Amino acid sequence: MEILVIGAGVGGLAAARSLLAAGHRVRVFEQAPARRTGGAAVTIFSNGAAVLSDLGVSLDGVGGRIDRIDALTSDGRLRTSMNLAHAADRFGFATKAISRRDLLGRLADGLPDDLVRYGMSCQSVTQDRGRVTATFSDGTTATGDLLIGADGHHSVVRRCLWGEGAVRPATFGTWQGLSPIDIDLARSTLHLMITGREGACGLMSAGDGLLQWWFDVRWSPADPRPAAPLAELRRRFGHWASPVPEVLAGASEDDLGFFGHHWNKVRQVWGEGRITLVGDAAHTMPPTLGQGANQTLEDVWVLGRELAKGGDDPVVWLRAYEKARYPHISLVSRLARRSPANWRIPPVIGRLFPETSQTTMLARFSNRLTASAV
């Protein structure tokens, strides 16, 4: 089949790898003028790492391994701890923090040089009984047997299928950076999640001496941006226990970026006819579980599995993909909407949680790991 992919982010490149390996003809269209090289780090948990391995993508030599997540109070007391090394032992794939630039580079390795057409902004998609057509801002069109919308939070493909207003603001926003901050944590396998009255802070090594750091604050789209955001973060969080003051002292405005959290209710059927969606286009959610990229990769794995079954009507397999993904991604989305990274669990309660809880959560979140276990 000839398959059109709209978007060349994690979902688009992963889908292209999967579909090309299955023998399909694939064309990818990306509105950006070139491959994106910005952005901070993403966390690839065991479920995402398993899919990357199936796609022939190695994370060796990039990123930083994470073996434990400690949740702390703002004054440094332990709320709860999760043993990610246990999940790695159980499933065979470690958790890593890796820069988005490096992840996209690994996904692109080995793909045809002319696979992605950059500077192509999709304006609409239409279909008839046998073909689907994408129309771009320059007036050109592309036609194929199937179309995959991998165009993210602001998906044009989703709007063509669902209309406007499906994605809504959540209650937090994130200031984040990826910086060479010289503290012990940047050379460790520990991920800290710190919460207090002022918001939340996350810290983890992303390899090569880089620290991925972020601060969650209450937010709505109507809120004005601070004129000096780093100074505001230092005012708000600078009194927290070490290493938060050291991170804020070592950060710079050049490292700093902001995004507001958004969410949409996951639909049981999110495609239509010969069109489907993957990743944020189908299920935008806050980053509080760190599952955004992982669930995108899970989408690609299940989509590839269903299309591999063949048959006379590929539309049947697109709906089978959506049906298979719905129970897992709807659970992740509902939990992410509750902003668990910002919960202030009392230490006395947190100590009741088993350190291996992350292993159980990953199995519940994952089509890939559950299939592997079976």
* Residue 131: CB atoms within 10 Å: 14
- pLDDT per residue, tens digit, the chain (374 aa), is 999 999 999 999 999 999 999 999 999 999 999 988 888 999 999 999 999 999 999 999 999 999 999 999 999 999 999 999 999 999 999 999 999 999 999 999 999 999 999 999 999 999 998 899 999 999 999 999 999 999 999 999 999 999 999 999 999 999 999 999 999 999 999 999 999 999 999 999 999 999 999 999 999 999 998 999 999 999 999 999 999 999 999 999 998 999 999 999 999 999 999 999 999 999 999 999 999 999 999 999 999 999 998 888 999 999 999 999 999 999 999 999 988 778 888 888 887 789 999 999 999 999 999 986 54
Q: Could you tell me which residues are beta bridge partners of residue 42?
A: 98
As beta bridge partners, residue 31 has: none
Distance CA 191, CA 208 (A): 16
pTM: 0.96
Strand partners, 61: none
**Percent helix / strand / coil, the chain, rounded to 5:** 35, 25, 35
Tokens coding 206: 């992303």
The set of long-range contacts for 308-316, using a CB threshold of 8 Å and a minimum separation of 24, is 308/22, 314/1, 314/145, 314/146, 314/274, 315/273, 315/274
Angle (nearest 5°) at CA 315 between 314 and 316: 90
Locate 7 and state its tokens: 């978007």
- The first and second tokens of residue 262, run together, are 């958004």
